[in-house]
Structure 1
Amino acid sequence: LIAILVATAGIQALAAAAVGQAEAGSMGEDPLLGAFYGINFGQIAAFAFGASALSAEFHNGALRTTLTAVPNRTWLYLSKMAMVGGLAFLVGQLAAVATFVGGQAFMGPYTLEVGSPGTYRAMFGCGAYITLMAL
């Protein structure tokens, strides 16, 4: 989970520094694309988190103990998905805020305000995206 935050915020700072040096007019029509570029790299950590969280019990026979405690596999997998999804959404939202705020320090003339059109929607979307990638 920490890797998601580090990957998104760290890569975003590097990408924002490059965006801040870009020529005027080269950013295209969507300035939010540059503001949330780091999320693309956070998805790799989200994949790893989801895969390891859902498959960790297959190692050393721990799945037998789990299925003895919760014999209904539907509830078992739904509860795992709820925990992984909830944690991923929380970390995804934190990563979205860290990516946006941290990246704005380096974006130069392309800096966006928190209340800019589409910013809140993009922040929520980043959390939802990271959640879906973890599941």
Structure 2
Amino acid sequence: MADENQELRKAGLKVTLPRIKILQVLEKFSEDHLSAEDVYKALIESGEDVGLATVYRVLTQFEAAGLVDKHNFDGGHAVFELSKEDHHDHMVNVDTGEVIEFFDEAIERRQHELVKEHGLELVDHALVLYVRKKRER
């Protein structure tokens, strides 16, 4: 719990039990992209008494503080992941909903080249590839 306290304080957030519990869920499932409902279900299953509205509010606070990244992959359904120092892009399987993180140096380099060719500076970007398993013919 000391690590969570430190992370919250570093992000400028007051340490509260709901914030600690939600951060613990995000850390436990750090390889996943969780919706607010997923976080809420995990809290209920572990016996925590945190309301869904609180989960939404805390996730919004975490996003504003830079603790989590929010993605809207499939039709506006928001999912969250702990912010990572290393940049990565995503592939979303449209049939299963699985989210695959990847990094490709050639894609990153080409994006910077395109921006430079237009006389611009890249501030941020997000690349999402929507995929499905290749069908056999």
What is the TM-score of this pair, normalised by structure 2? 0.29
Larger strand fraction of residues: 2
Structure of higher RCO (CA pairs closer than 8 Å, 6+ residues apart): 1
What is the TM-score of this pair, normalised by structure 1? 0.29
Larger helix fraction of residues: 1
Task: State the structure with more CA Rg.
Answer: 1
